[in-house]
Amino acid sequence: MEPNLKWSPDGRQLIWSAHSLGIAKDCKRKYFYAIVNRWERRGDSVHLVFGGHYADALEHYHKHRAAGADHDEAQHLVIKETLEASFPWTNDHNAKTRETLIRSIVWYTEEYQDDPCQTVILANGKPAVELEFNLQLNDEIMLAGRIDRVVNYAGDYYIQDQKTTGSTVGSWYFKRYTPDNQMSLLTVAGQVIWKLPVKGVMVDAAQIAVGFTRFERGFAFRTQEMLEEWLRDAEYHIRETWRAEEAGWPMNDSACQKYGGCPFLDICNKSPQVREEFLRTSFEKQEAR
């Protein structure tokens, strides 16, 4: 879930999530549409809704297990919770349905019920699951986000992050996470907020297909130098984004085809005077900031 983003009276974003920073790095025009004006393509929310329920369920499963519940008990609790939270289901995506959501949660918890990685217990005695964080980048800028789970695996600490995808998950899939904005921010947060020597992010990816869900686990490692470099770069990109309004939110036309095409591709390929009309036709505005 996206943290609350804070804005200065002159319109500068002061609290940055990995999501908003990633979009700002991609393209200032995309940032203007998606973050400043909160346009979202109709139908795109299915992935967010599915991924949100899925991540919530697995976080709760680990929480119940850390609190002493056995596998069957914890699984029953999260299936009940998810059935209730996902009702009524309104989208008509062919693979991301309520049934495949429940199937994916059952299959994941079966697959990893005897997982060697353990949920870290924080100094306050609570399991390190569903953690929201805010950290100061400098006097003006804060970074914010949410961590699914912190784990201890083979003697090392990792942030665990759940991903769902429609495509096949192989070793190449995990290459996208190094370098990667979100994985660097999560690692920084683990080190700064909870003072743990976090080595990186353990990505549990689920391929959601009509007839099956397949799981693969991969890692995104970060050295201290990589994190320091990422923090320097993040500040640069944020300051550059603050200046983008004066320049009319310039378009980065070399990023339009990234990841199968920017959602605003069919807006930016129109003449400027008709773009607003096209936005209103195929996009909807999310609630105001």
Partner 1 sequence: MSDQEETIAMLFHRDPFTLSKLDIDRIITHMRESRQHFKLSGKPLAEKKPVDLKELGLL
- Please report, as ranges, the residues that interact with partner 1 according to CB under 8 A: 75-76, 79-80, 83-84, 87, 98-99, 102-103, 106-107, 110, 211-212
211 versus 272: smaller Cβ distance to partner 1? 211
Phi, psi of 165 (to 5 degrees): -150, 155
How far is Cα 202 from Cα 121, in angstroms, rounded to an integer? 17
212 versus 236: smaller Cβ distance to partner 1? 212
CB of residue 11 to partner 1, shortest distance in Å: 43
Coil, strand or helix: which one is 214?
strand
83 versus 265: smaller Cβ distance to partner 1? 83
CB of residue 84 to partner 1, shortest distance in Å: 5
CB of residue 24 to partner 1, shortest distance in Å: 39
Of 212, 5, 31, 225, the C-alpha closest to 110 is 212
CB of residue 98 to partner 1, shortest distance in Å: 6
Q: What is the dihedral of CA 63, 65, 66, 68, to 10 degrees?
A: 130
CB of residue 106 to partner 1, shortest distance in Å: 4
Structure-block tokens of residue 198:
């976090």
Of 18, 51, 43, the C-alpha closest to 183 is 18
